[in-house]
Amino acid sequence: MHQVPFHRPCLGPDEEREVIEVLRSGWITTGPKAKRFEQEFAAYVGARYAVAVAHCTGALHLALYALGIGAGDEVITTPFTFTATAEAVAYLGARPVFVDLEPEGLNLDPAKVEELLQSGRLSRPRVLLPVHFAGQGCDMNRLLAIARRHGLKVVEDAAHAAGSAIRLDGRAMVKVGAIGDLSCFSFYATKNITTAEGGMVTTEDDALAHKIAVASLHGMNRDAWKRYDATGSWYYEIDELGFKYNLSDVHAAIGLAQLKRADEFQRRRAQIARAYNDAFAAQMALQTPRARADVEHAWHLYVLRLRSERLRIGRDAVVELLRRRGVGVSVHCIPLHLMRVYQVKYGYRPGDFPVAEDAYSRCLSLPIYPAMSERDVEYVIDTVLATVREHLN
Ligand SMILES: Cc1ncc(COP(=O)(O)O)c(C=O)c1O
């Protein structure tokens, strides 16, 4: 039987060459490769500053920390995300305030955010933290306007969105990373570009970039990584306590090679998404994801929704059948308000966010990555269509 794993990273001779160069250089932790990765990533998204970190979870933590978020503050975000988004808020003693989604793209619904802010139910809203779900940009024109009106900072969780872009009012397409106050990226193994584990914060703000860079390595001054080098000094000062979130040169080296292929990866993802959408369009039991006209979708995930009323079996059974037939599928996301810790700690309950719950009950993610062959794509299409046809009402 043909097998298509849910994900396989696209790594080749360029990544190997970059990593070997680091291993032989005598300097394997944060150093020149990490610095170059920051510069090249900043140029890629069109941001003034980029700070490389160990993961997106750390990026989010540092971004909120740099904005001075602390106990009693409220951070407005989506429940339809990975736990890291809200976890970073909780690290600082602040409260993640979830708002439901717009039903098409499954991103934060700006109208519901505005309604909450006007309701008087919040006591200290400080940050709007949208997640560009699956790689499709949120409606940033409306979210930025709302944030401005209510004095909120905007931190974007761009874990899914390296390479995606949004048409801002009166401007050309702007890449995610050059839009809000701070954007946080992930280079986890499955992400659009990977460093195995890694992350990045981008910003236009000099002071925030500096604060994040210093805090990412124990609060030591910026060039402390050179302290074992003839060009550096053994002395460093600590003005504020920091964290251990620096990215090693071994990881950054992989990122440098991946970044060179980012546009090619992006084209292949979009091509696979188009092939899926074309193949599934006529099957009424399937709801395909649509890219809005005002965005460039990064297609980190291809999230299909079942039209449950047309099928005799539910999502879990479809996932199980596809897996048994060799198609690696997954489910994104399990809404956070359905998870025990968010219920116990913050009082969320099933039923709080009906759009997120409806999406969760019907969604599954198909394999989508540049290492897929044409045969892999065809196999996924044929297997999904056959499985659905066998169980139509
Ligand atoms: C939306 C979102 N935010 C944050 C993260 C955390 O990323 P990392 O694993 O790099 O910490 C993930 C990881 O999958 C994610 O999907």
What does the domain layout of the chain look like in residue ranges? 13-261, 263-389
207 is written with which tokens?
A: 């002071």
Catalytic residue among 33, 153, 175, 191: 191
CA distance 285 to 282: 9
Q: Which amino acid is at 327?
A: V
pLDDT value at 175 more than 80: yes
**CATH assignment of 13-261?**
3.40.640.10
Helices (H), the chain: 13-25, 32-45, 56-66, 83-91, 110-119, 140-150, 206-215, 249-260, 262-280, 315-324, 340-346, 354-362, 374-389
278 is written with which tokens?
A: 């074309």
Chain segment 67-77, per-residue pLDDT in tens: 999 999 999 99
pLDDT value at 222 more than 80: no
pLDDT value at 228 more than 90: no
Which ligand 1 atom sits nearest the alpha carbon of residue 332?
Answer: 16
Going from the Cα of 159 to the center of ligand 1, the distance in angstroms, rounded, reads 5
What residues flank ligand 1, with Cβ below 6 Å? 55-57, 81-82, 84-85, 131, 157, 159-160, 186, 188, 199
Ligand 1 site-directed mutation target among 60, 82, 107, most atoms within 8 Å of CB? 82
- pLDDT of 3 reads 98
Ligand 1 site-directed mutation target among 6, 57, 132, most atoms within 8 Å of CB? 57
Higher per-residue confidence, 261 vs 236:
261
Going from the Cα of 119 to the center of ligand 1, the distance in angstroms, rounded, reads 31
Which ligand 1 atom sits nearest the alpha carbon of residue 133?
Answer: 1
Going from the Cα of 230 to the center of ligand 1, the distance in angstroms, rounded, reads 37
Selected from 3.90.950.10, 3.20.20.140, 3.30.70.100, 3.90.1150.10, the CATH number assigned to the domain covering 263-389 reads: 3.90.1150.10
Which ligand 1 atom sits nearest the alpha carbon of residue 55?
Answer: 10
Going from the Cα of 243 to the center of ligand 1, the distance in angstroms, rounded, reads 18
Which ligand 1 atom sits nearest the alpha carbon of residue 190?
Answer: 14
pLDDT value at 224 more than 80: no
CA distance 259 to 318: 35
What is the chain's Cα-based Rg? 21
Going from the Cα of 132 to the center of ligand 1, the distance in angstroms, rounded, reads 11
Ligand 1 site-directed mutation target among 55, 188, 197, 301, most atoms within 8 Å of CB? 188
Nearest CA to ligand 1 atom 8: 56
Mean pLDDT (the chain, rounded): 97
Going from the Cα of 335 to the center of ligand 1, the distance in angstroms, rounded, reads 14
- pLDDT of 161 reads 98
Above pLDDT 90, what percent of the chain? 94
Chain segment 16-49, per-residue pLDDT in tens: 999 999 999 999 999 999 999 999 999 999 999 9
β-strands 125-129, 153-157 pairing: parallel
191 is catalytic: yes
Chain segment 363-377, per-residue pLDDT in tens: 999 999 999 999 999
Contact 236, 91 (CB under 8 A): no
Residue 60 confidence class, pLDDT cut points 50, 70, 90 = very high
Buried b (16+ CB within 10 A) or exposed e, 193-223: bbbbbbbbbbbeeeebbebbbbbbbbbbbee
Q: For residue 70, give Cα distances in angstroms to 95, 99, 122, 147, 304.
A: 9, 20, 15, 19, 38
Which ligand 1 atom sits nearest the alpha carbon of residue 333?
Answer: 16
Going from the Cα of 309 to the center of ligand 1, the distance in angstroms, rounded, reads 33
Nearest CA to ligand 1 atom 16: 82
